[in-house]
Structure 1
Amino acid sequence: MVYARMTLQLSVVLLLASVLLVLYHFGFVFNNDCINESCSQFARCCPNLVGNFHPDLRVISIEEMATRFYWVREGGLYSSTPSDVSSGTTRVAILIPFRKREEHLQILLNNLHPFLYRQQLDYTVYVVEQVDEKPFNKGKLYNIGYKEAKKNNHTCYVFHDVDLIPENDHNLYGCVRSPMHLSRAINKYNYRLPDDKLIGGVSAWRTEEFERVNGWSNLFWFWGGEDDDMSYRIMANRLPIYRFRNSVARYLMLKHSQSTINTARKRILKDSHIRYKFDGLSSLVYIPPDIQQSPLYTRILVKL
């Protein structure tokens, strides 16, 4: 009787394991909650973390912020360690695609710099600004920003929508895992994740995984599609998506008018799982951008 029960339990375990292997083989993305050990260890190193906080939604001038954020060097750079001992330090690039959203950018910078400083990260903020009159192309801006930031030897890249403001500084921006979907819980969706496959909003990547999926697609103009395309790239490469729990990965979305929708996005998405191999970083061609050092960020001016 005992033998039969053990045999049955073993069969159930093997069946569940087989199901999980099949799901993984076909590229289903698992909602991997990031282990809490990383958070607690990080918190011990950074005693100034406060957890949940209310974002400051005031629009404050760049000049005033530059005075208040005394730790930020020209170009939006902060290093918590001396240059001669930082070879093993995670160096984070924050990449913000941008065009004509000055108030949102000021609100984000006003919250983001103190947030990153409390985490004691070595970081640089890059604002990748499309300065021509062509339709907006977030994916291509991200790819260009990545290529330019990589020249500065970053080890972690955070792709960050300008209208998402973090609400909990335990949401670590240092590539604890990769790919890491940081904006799991947004107020617009009642702080719940609508779909386990989502990667849009704010995500953190190490070089290896980002280049494995060939970066973002360059084909999505106007609004919509590039985030879904990235989800398919992740599935095609059988990568998990890691996340912190809802109470940590919290964001406030700033209100704005709806951008022109990409009506071709569904058609383009049909072959994402194949097209990713030749659409992305490998196919990226762009005019060398004008790069300017501002008090709170490095400005990458792009003409597509």
Structure 2
Amino acid sequence: MTRRPDRKGTVPFGDYQTWFRVTGTLDGTRPPLVIAHGGPGSTHDYLRSLADLAEHGHPVVHYDQLGNGGSTHLPGRGPDFWTPGLLQAELENLLTQLGIANDYVLLGHSWGGLLAAAHAATRPPGLRGLIIANSPASYELWREGIAGLRAALPPEVEATLRRHEAAATTDSAEYARAVRVFDNRHVCRVDPLPHDFVATLMEIQNDPTVYFTMNGPSEFYVNGTLRDHSVVDCLPAIAVPTLVLSGRHDEATPIAVRPFAELIPGARWEIFEESSHVPHLEEPQQFSQVLLEFLAGVNSGHKTGVSVQ
């Protein structure tokens, strides 16, 4: 069972509220691990198991990005509102409000990896390390890689997907069934789906505003505001130890992940052979081991005695 949080609540973000939970104690002994979830439009739930890292002395901060989960929902806002800059500003505000902006490690999963990379490229002085998990460096590369994965689907499945995408009927039950064939191969290969993963899916269904606006109707049909978004150009500016993670069967294909490994100075790329998009659920023990080894390296250079208010 995942460790329960020691603290949870909300912090103000302008006129809105960002929900968070902290597992462990923010006492400055070790930099907390702040986790940015994917989507956009997802929630922290599917990453909740990472709270168990607190058992090894690493405080863990989860949060729900604006428009999702426990944070303020804004179903009436359109594409002009839901921008990467908004969610980057929210992350920076969260760090400040929690008093950890001077000492933290950042993990971004999927979309959260682009968010984390853009943040790291500004060279915030308190960032000690960066983990980019199962993320594309650009959505152009994401689509290019996924085209190959779709081509390997059963012909009747791909035909169904294309028919509904052409007809703009991606809200149909038939389209959803075809999407699940892809998801079972390249998003989460655990059967049955883990409870935390299902919890996130239910949250997206309850309010798909952010997901549909920024991403689109499915993981591989990206026609939202992120269609041309990229962080490739800013990657060489990242100047902290960086770990890049992906799965052998990942929808974030090597062509989409490779810029992180090649352009971030000193980055290390770890591939989980039995995983797709959520190795923390598919190979949890190995995933934890890899993270703990990376965090140990970050901690070895950590200046003890730093006060975190």
TM-score (norm 1): 0.34
Structure number with bigger Rg: 1
TM-score (norm 2): 0.34
**Whose relative contact order is higher, 1 or 2, with alpha carbons under 8 Å and at least 6 apart?**
1
